[in-house]
Amino acid sequence: MSSHGNLFENERLPDSEILGIGGDGLQVELIRNLTDLDSQYLMEISRNSVSEFGNPVIIEPGNFRKHFNYPRTFPFISRYQGKPVAAIIGVPLEQFNKESWVKYDINWGAENTVYTSLFIVHPQHRKPNITQTILKLYMSWIKKQSYRYITGHKRSSIDILFDKTPDIIKKFENWQNSKNTFDYFRITLI
């Protein structure tokens, strides 16, 4: 693991809320503050994988705090045998007021929607139990916070593992110059 300096000045235990523990060594946490070692693991995962939604997401020291910035963002990680192997991050939709795509969402301004800005899983841990567990706990926690919807962008060709079928709000050709079509989707939680 390469060193990136201290991102969080936190070498000890992370500040987190454990949302679920599986008998197979899997644990899902809502992260309030990460250790530097955890942040390095997550940066490594992002460099070696494509998001579960099909878009490359690179987490680097320069943008790390943007993603892992509780309570402004809702970052969750899955640990397997103590090591981070997956992350999913939700952000209240209203924080994207400068993005052109947000105008297609009828719920913008209603403060009832969380946009899923990142979902990565270590390539060696892309197993249904890991992805489905973090998704279920993420959705459950978001719902308990009184949000009604989860949205995000996913490559059109990728089926996501939510329990509910997402509604497609808008298709975007060549999303962010990726040469791929992405769907802006919504899942109703209530």
Q: Give 5-37 as a DSSP string.
A: --SSS--S--EEEEEEE-TTSEEEEEEEE--HH
Rounded to whole angstroms, the Cα distance separating 153 from 172 reads: 9
pLDDT at position 14: 62
The number of beta carbons lying within 10 Å of the beta carbon of residue 70 is 17
Say yes or no to pLDDT of 3 above 90: no
CATH number for the region 15-188 comes to: 3.40.630.30
Confidence band of 13 (pLDDT split at 50, 70, 90)? low
Strands (DSSP E) along 2-124, which ranges?
15-21, 26-33, 74-80, 83-92, 113-121
Q: What are the tens digits of pLDDT across the range 39-73?
A: 888 988 888 766 555 555 667 777 777 888 999 99
**pTM for this model (two decimals):** 0.85
What letter does residue 111 receive in the DSSP assignment? S
Task: Return the pLDDT at 5.
Answer: 47
* pLDDT on residue 12: 47
108 pLDDT tier (thresholds 50, 70, 90): very high
Confidence bin at 2 (pLDDT 50/70/90): very low
Q: Residue 33 is encoded by which pair of tokens?
A: 């503050």
